[in-house]
Amino acid sequence: MDAAVEQRPQRERLGIVRKAKAYVALTKPRVIELLLVTTIPVMFLAARGIPNLWLVLATLVGGTLSASSANAFNCYIDRDIDRVMDRTKKRPLVTGELRDGEALAFAWITGAASVLWLGLLVNWLAAALSLGAILFYVFVYTLLLKRRTPQNIVWGGAAGCMPVLIGWAAVTGSLDWAPVILFGIVFLWTPPHYWPLSMKYRTDYQSVNVPMLAVVRGRSVVGLQVVLYAWATVACSLLLIPVAHMGILYAATALLAGGWFIFESHVLYSTAIRHGDVRPMRVFHSSITYLTLVFIAVGVDPLLPF
């Protein structure tokens, strides 16, 4: 009897931990991590130095809540196709670790919390941008574009660019041309980042009739589009040098990391047109490294004396 009584609290604790992990998985933490990588450096650039660290923390918390809300709504809406696709079968709404109502409540609560948090602790422009990001991701990308057009990730990716604007607005209370260019970098980077992933999981998307570019067009067309967008991304990154008066560190990083990103994109395309064994995940991982390096340079460059 005593052993059974002792085991019950242990099972309850394990249940709580498992439920907490399910809620974390619902937020797609790897996506949030990438969004935060772009937010912090922009705040340093906007401050032309080290911003108020409490402001940075408040902005990151608000941004995390915002992204969590958008991703939870996405998981709720796409739960039908997530049950079919191999790469999404471990999501908590598929495994049953969370009920549909729990996910939907979590999405609404974190979304409302993000707007109130940013509005009260940062500023209302940042809060409005956060709300706009959630609404765009849910209604424009997830509900309108994702299952209807191969251009879904192009225009839907705009939601992932919003942390750049939020970070700038948090520091300055306004927007300028520099954050617009930074927005453009992430916007143009999103297709050559995501399309290689869709090449790898082409069968998955095809099984649920989601018209990703890799599903409706051949590998050569996808490879060419990746190359064109990679070039456009790097060109846009160079515009920041005169507009934001960036120094040698940013210029060198944008050129060298950008050259590597373009090279990997061309390798993918050349392999595709030769009908070779394409390795799209090399471009996928390269794109993440590229964006991380460029935005680290965005944050560090204003701290240098030259």
pLDDT tops 90 at residue 43? yes
Query: pLDDT value at position 119?
Result: 98
Cβ atoms of 181 and 244 closer than 8 Å: yes
The C-alpha atoms of residue 198 and residue 222 are separated, in whole angstroms, by 10
pLDDT tops 80 at residue 9? no
Residue-wise pLDDT tens digits, 258-281:
999 999 999 999 999 988 888 999
The C-alpha atoms of residue 143 and residue 188 are separated, in whole angstroms, by 22
Mean pLDDT of the residues in the chain: 92
pLDDT tops 70 at residue 14? no
Among 222, 225, 245, which Cα is nearest to 233's?
225
Confidence of residue 3 (pLDDT cuts 50, 70, 90): low
DSSP state of 50: P
Query: pLDDT value at position 2?
Result: 53
Q: For residue 290, what are its two tokens?
A: 């590229």
Confidence of residue 116 (pLDDT cuts 50, 70, 90): very high
pLDDT tops 60 at residue 4? no
Q: Which residue ranges form the domains of the chain, and what is each CATH number? A: 8-173 (1.10.357.140), 176-306 (1.20.120)
pLDDT tops 90 at residue 10? no
pLDDT tops 60 at residue 11? no
Cβ atoms of 190 and 157 closer than 8 Å: yes
Cβ atoms of 254 and 152 closer than 8 Å: no
pTM of the predicted model, to two decimals? Answer: 0.92
What average pLDDT score do residues 64-74 get? Answer: 95
State residue 23 phi and psi, 5-degree precision: -65, -40
Distance of CA 57 to the CA centre of its chain: 19
What average pLDDT score do residues 188-213 get? Answer: 93
